[in-house]
Amino acid sequence: MSLGWDTYLYQLEDGRPAAITLDLDASPEESQGLTILVRARIVLRQPAEHGLMVAEETDALAEADEAFDELVDTLSDGEGVFVGSLTMGGQCIMHAYLPGDTVIPAELTLGSYTAQVHTQDDPEWSVFLEGLYPSEDQLHCIINRRIVDQLEEDGDTVTIPREVFHSAFFPNSNGAQAFADEAATEGYRLDQMAQDPDDGSVEVRLCREEPVDLKSINETSLLLVRLAATCGGYYDGWEAATIAQPH
């Protein structure tokens, strides 16, 4: 499944907020030979008090992003990949991976900004995978946000409790049953347990009445993510019927 681009927020160790926008589908496996990390750093003109951008600067930064993407393509003869940007402390740092023999200027004009450029060898894409890419929990919350946003666009009142179905998969029935039993202590009932006749894997489908606003569904689904992992399986997602806003 293609995940495309998205943005998420997180807190640095010193308590400051940071925003990361990235291509969730980018990977070193799909981009062999791109061993040089290029970081183009621009200073925000009017950062918010917490160091992130304000709405008034959104368009200018979008133009800078587009210019950087085009320059990456030009400098690398179409081989380079713009993977994302990190905004924090009044700065936006754009990241790209290019072939090792690419000639890269020390300064770039990106839209109405001047960017200082830093390069380093990173053949394993460590900066992207360990510094930019979301953790499993963060990625799960990104996907939850997309679902909740779609429900709200469809007119759903997400704070209204309704039956929510959660699915998880296990390599055998022992793990599946342990998961169902533990989930029952949290108020979930077993809706279905089905074993694949070919490989013996088991799907467990649970149900509980609960709201699907982002805070609630993150809390409940992350609990099941960890519980499924403890029982040797993996959580596969949730679904619920749309409840329209009352008139």
Q: Where are the domains of the chain?
A: 5-132, 155-240
Q: What is the mean pLDDT of residues 179-206?
A: 95
Is pLDDT of 245 > 80?
A: no
| Owner of token pair 């202590």 | 185
pLDDT > 90? residue 145? yes
pLDDT digit string, tens, across residues 84-97: 999 999 999 999 99
Residues in the chain: 247
The per-residue pLDDT for 224 is 98
pLDDT tier at 31, thresholds 50, 70, 90: confident
Query: Are 117 and 102 within 8 A, CB to CB?
Result: no
190 touches 138 (CB < 8 A): no
Cα angle 91, 92, 97 (rounded to 5 degrees) comes to 140
| Cα-trace Rg, the chain | 22
* Mean residue pLDDT across the chain: 94
The residues that bridge with 141 in the sheet, in sequence order, are none
In this model, does residue 55 exceed pLDDT 70? yes
Residue 12: the pLDDT is 83
Non-local (6+) Cβ contacts of 36 within 8 A are: 97, 98, 99, 100, 102, 104, 119, 120, 121, 122
Give the number of other Cβ atoms within 10 Å of residue 150's Cβ: 11
Question: What DSSP string runs through 161-183?
Answer: -EEEEEEEEESSHHHHHHHHHHH
**Is 38 within 8 Å of 98 (Cβ atoms)?**
yes
List C-alpha distances in Å: 200 to 173, 190, 229, 235.
8, 19, 18, 17
| Residues 51 and 88 sit within 8 Å (Cβ to Cβ) | yes
What is the arithmetic mean of pLDDT over 172-200?
95
pLDDT reported for residue 52 = 92
Q: pLDDT band for 11, please (50, 70, 90 cuts).
A: confident
Residue 155's region, left for phi above 0, alpha for psi from -120 to 50, else beta, is: left
Q: Domain 155-240 falls in which CATH fold?
A: Alpha-Beta Plaits (3.30.70)
> 3-state DSSP call for residue 121?
strand
